[in-house]
Structure 1
Amino acid sequence: MAQLSDDCFAFGGALLPIEAARTLILERVGIVAGVETIPLAQADGRTLAEPVTAPFNVPGFTNSAVDGYAVRFDDLSTDAETRLSRVGRIAAGHASTDRLIAGEAARIFTGAVMPDGADTVIMQEDCHEDGDAVLIRPGIKRGANRRLAGEDIAIGSEALAAGRRLGPPELGLLAALGQSTVPVRQRLSVALFSTGDELREPGTTLAPGQIYDANRFMLASLLTRAGAQVTDGGILPDRPHDLAEALVAAAARHDLIVTSGGVSTGEEDHVRSVMNAHGSLFFWRLAIKPGRPVALGQIGGTPLIGLPGNPVAALITFVAVARPLIEAMTGTQPRIPRRSQAISGFAYKKKLDRREYVRVSLEVGDGGPPRLRRFPKDGAGLLTSLTETDGLAELPETLTRLEPGMAVDFIPYGELL
């Protein structure tokens, strides 16, 4: 279990800037996930626990990048067609034992070992056969279409650093290095709860004043994508005793607890009081919109992050705070969403010193830069504001007014989720 000191997140201000919260997490939270070795085929989405050093060159031999003819560049004319004798045939998986001599061209196929003496490959489209000869057009560069041994990875070099999140390219690279197993960080065990008397499970009958619980399913997906192993704790009622009992029990069996709802200032918001009574509360208000009420603390030494109850705020604060916490606890290299510049198609006023995220659609014009169209409604509980837009316009703390035509950072949902 993670053990956080009671003062490691102490903050005296009214609202904690989002970058300050992330910096504190990265600086103060250590790796708690252990290491296990698993088959390469099961490693998608896992975090590499140890650096991988190339045990040999990749490719292991100099080879042809195309189908064509292996030649000696010095035999080629620079301004006229060259005629060379055709000798041999080299297919992938087979090596030629003959050395190419002056005036010869060897038929070769993609991936095949370059014969001794050859340094250039002519694509078959750039030449034509004439009996026992091959005619080659001028203009070919020395070393064309040749892949050198170690061109991809040199023996002894670091192929992948520890903390790398493994995806399709990384799995392919590990396979190219001959690794059938890989050391990875164990999945973080996360207990997930929703809180609120108004919540009910999808598929049940709603009474007046009740709604279906959307957050738990959304957050479970986000946690799984972040590499966590999720225990669904269900819906907790707005009763301090029951809430405390469930969270204390979860803390004893998990690496992290994630809740949504119950972290604001209302009389029925009890998550913060439970943290204060059974552990520590480090911060609970961030300078971010949507999503100001975010609580980070611990119960019995197990970190607990309480996200807002509104779905849009829950998603944005998960990306902003919860995922960096999970990355720190698993030793995963931080994922930084890529931003692109777009032109605002709307006016917007915001508070100074607060990071704000506006749900927008991306409109690509004829030759001009893309423009952003704001979703017509602004509520943090509107799930359609996520499903019917393309991403978020990120407005920095220093900005107080956005005007149409101004440049703004745009983050597509694909970079966030």
Structure 2
Amino acid sequence: MRTVEEHLAEILAGVPVPEPLDLALLEAAGTVLAEPVTAPVPLPPFDNSAMDGYAVVAADIAGATDASPVELPVVGDIAAGDAGVEAITGGLAARIMTGAPLPAGADAVIPVEWTDGGVRAVRVFRAAPPGNYIRRAGEDVIAGEVVAAAGARLTAARLGMVAAVGRASVRVRPKPRVVVLSTGSELREPGSELAPGQIWDSNSFMLTAAVTEAGGVGYRQATVGDDPAEVLRTLEDVLARADAVVTSGGVSMGARDVVKEVLTGVGSVAFHKVRMRPGKPQGFGLLHGTPVFTLPGNPVSAYVSFQVFVRPALRAMQGLPPEALPTVSAVLTADLRSPAGIRHYQRGTLSETRGHPTVAPADRQGSHQLGALAGADALIVLPEDVEAVPAGAHVEVMRLPS
């Protein structure tokens, strides 16, 4: 058997990284930037008002109080996007809206709440220092500043920032298109009636959602039975619309392990036993240049295999570091045992005790027991050389996507 690291290294050496392309902003949402984005101008590009109110000279209202307000003539209105009044002099005021450019000569903005709201003349009831409620040019971003770095994922906030500096499109690494396929003649679509011996397919739904969590675009293919010709034909068909293919089922040592049967020796696809539980039977290779990940059929095995092998590969295809799930050291709340010589991924639930992470193992750890996985938020990682870990010991824990 090979180690987890050996199998992952082979995968990362084999997956291609698609060339960057230019996409319009909304099409680029969620992708990874292939180049830095810089600001061509400062933001804001001009001094502007942070409030609806009046642009004034601060010295004119230095003595304003409720008992002794200062009255100033209002020379005009300045709306956002409209220069309106370009300048004022001492002894005058201009009504100004939030975001409107500050007129030359003014050095403070008085909120309308501090006034009587006058149109031709305004009475001001509070003094204010110079700079009051003024957004200065460049106080957010200076010209030439990098506002989104290469390798950053375009989240909603970053996308807004890129739009704010005037970019209509960006150069990005595209999201990998991943087709997910479950095999097995016993599988039926959720919502259909079950005959004896049949089960509803869960893996393809789970893995398609996991692709999305990893930053890819998942496409679920309808389940395929155990007919070798049908499986091979389906795989050939989906390659036209896939940057990667993930299958589940049919990769072990059984007489009906159809994925292994039809892909052995095809392209560079090869099958191995990996020193891990769950998920010992694994396969990977390129089929007509497209990466194909063949995962076990038991639901927990398929999910753990995805997080350990497929997720890092999809990150690499997006130009990101091929990292596994984030980890934390936590105190174990119960004794655990593990077979010698394998890396064991056990489901658990993270919490905090007196400010320190703790992890409670799930009661059920069978590779077919999806209910325990659905209730878990972590995988407890027990190394190959560990056979027993007592409660109170520190263990490495992988945080599952929330």
User: 1 CA distance for matches of 2:82 and 2:170?
Assistant: 30
* 2:42 aligned with 1:57: yes
Distance between the aligned counterparts of 2:70 and 2:328, measured in 1?
A: 52
- Cα drift, residue 259 of structure 1: 0.5
Instruction: Output one character per residue of 1:138-188: Cα deviation in whole Å (capped at 9) or x when no partner.
Output: xx9x97865443343333333334454333212222321233444555554
Distance 1:123 1:403 in 2: 64
Q: Is 1:198 matched with 2:186?
A: yes
Displacement after TM superposition at 1:123 (Å): 8.2
Q: Which sits farther off after the overlay, 106-115 or 257-266?
A: 106-115
Specify the alignment match of 1:261 in structure 2. 249
CA contact (8 A) 1:33 1:188 kept: no
Following superposition, the deviation at residue 215 of structure 1 comes to 0.6
Aligned CA distance change for structure 1 residues 108 and 252 (closer, same or farther; 3 Å): closer
1:228 maps to which of 212, 217, 223: 217
Deviation, 1:76, is 12
* Residues 301 and 62 (structure 1), Cα distance of their counterparts in 2 relative to 1, 3 Å cut: same
> Relative to 1, partners in 2 of residues 1:406 and 1:93: Cα closer, same or farther, differing over 3 Å?
farther
* Bigger relative contact order (CA 8 A; separation at least 6): 1
> Which residue among 189, 192, 195 is the counterpart of 1:207?
195
- What is the alpha-carbon root mean square deviation over aligned residues? 4.3
- Unaligned stretches of 5+ in structure 2? 63-68, 117-121
Matches within 5 A, 1:245-256: 245-251=233-239, 254-256=242-244
SS of 1:57's equivalent in the other structure is coil
SS of the residue corresponding to residue 359 of structure 1 reads strand
Question: Which residue does the alignment assign to 1:404?
Answer: 391
Percent identical across equivalent pairs?
36
Question: How far apart in 2 are the matches of 1:236 and 1:111?
Answer: 62
Between Structure 1 and Structure 2, how many residues are aligned? Answer: 390
Alignment of structure 1 residues 74-113 onto 2, 5 Å: 92-94=80-82, 97-98=86-87, 110-113=98-101
The separation in 1 between residues aligned to 2:57 and 2:328, in whole angstroms, is: 47
Is residue 164 of structure 2 the alignment partner of residue 176 of structure 1? yes
With 172-181 and 84-93 compared, the bigger mean Cα shift is at: 84-93
Does the 8 Å contact 1:272/1:281 carry over to 2?
no
Take 2:49 and 2:223, find their aligned partners in 1: how far apart are those partners? 58
Q: Give how far 1:297 is off.
A: 1.1
Amino acid at match of 1:57: P
- Give, in whole Å, the separation in 1 of the partners of 2:123 and 2:355: 56
CA contact 1:297–1:305 (8 Å) conserved in 2: yes
Alignment of 1:294 onto 2:282: yes
* CA deviation after TM superposition for structure 1 residue 305, in Å: 0.4
SS at match of 1:235: coil
- Corresponding residue of 2:368: 381
3-state SS in 1 of match to 2:157: helix
Q: CA deviation at 1:193?
A: 1.8
- 1:334 Cα deviation after fit: 5.1
Which residue identity lines up with residue 160 of structure 1 in the other structure? A
Matches of 1:69 and 1:385 in 2, distance apart? 62
CA contact (8 A) 1:196 1:261 kept: yes
Distance 1:406 1:104 in 2: 73
1:29 counterpart residue number: 15
- Give how far 1:309 is off: 0.9
Q: Is the 2:307–2:325 Cα contact (8 Å) retained in structure 1? A: no
Q: What is aligned with 1:6?
A: none
Alpha-carbon distance in structure 2 between the residues aligned to 1:350 and 1:123 = 67
- Does residue 392 of the first structure (1) align with residue 363 of the second (2)? no
Distance 1:107 1:195, change over 3 A: same
In structure 1, the residue corresponding to 2:223 is in which secondary structure?
A: strand
8 Å contact 1:100–1:115 — kept in the other structure?
A: no
Distance 1:21 1:87 in 2: 78
Work out the CA distance in 2 between the residues paired with 1:230 and 1:122. 56
Correspondence for 1:16: 3
Given that residues 311 and 380 in structure 1 are in contact (C-alpha distance below 8 angstroms), is that contact kept between their aligned partners in structure 2? yes
Contact 2:188 2:223 in 1 (8 A): no
Q: Output the CA distance in 1 between the equivalents of 2:263 and 2:235.
A: 9
TM-score by length of 2: 0.75
Shift of 1:311: 1.2
SS of structure 2 residue aligned to 1:203: coil
Give the superposition deviation at 1:314: 1.3
SS of the equivalent of 1:172 reads helix
For residue 147 of structure 2, the aligned residue among 148, 156, 159 is 159
Gaps of 5+ in 1: 1-13, 78-82
Alpha-carbon contact 1:33-1:187 (below 8 Å) kept: no
Distance in 2 between the 1:106 and 1:340 partners? 57
Query: Helix, strand or coil for the counterpart of 1:60?
Result: coil
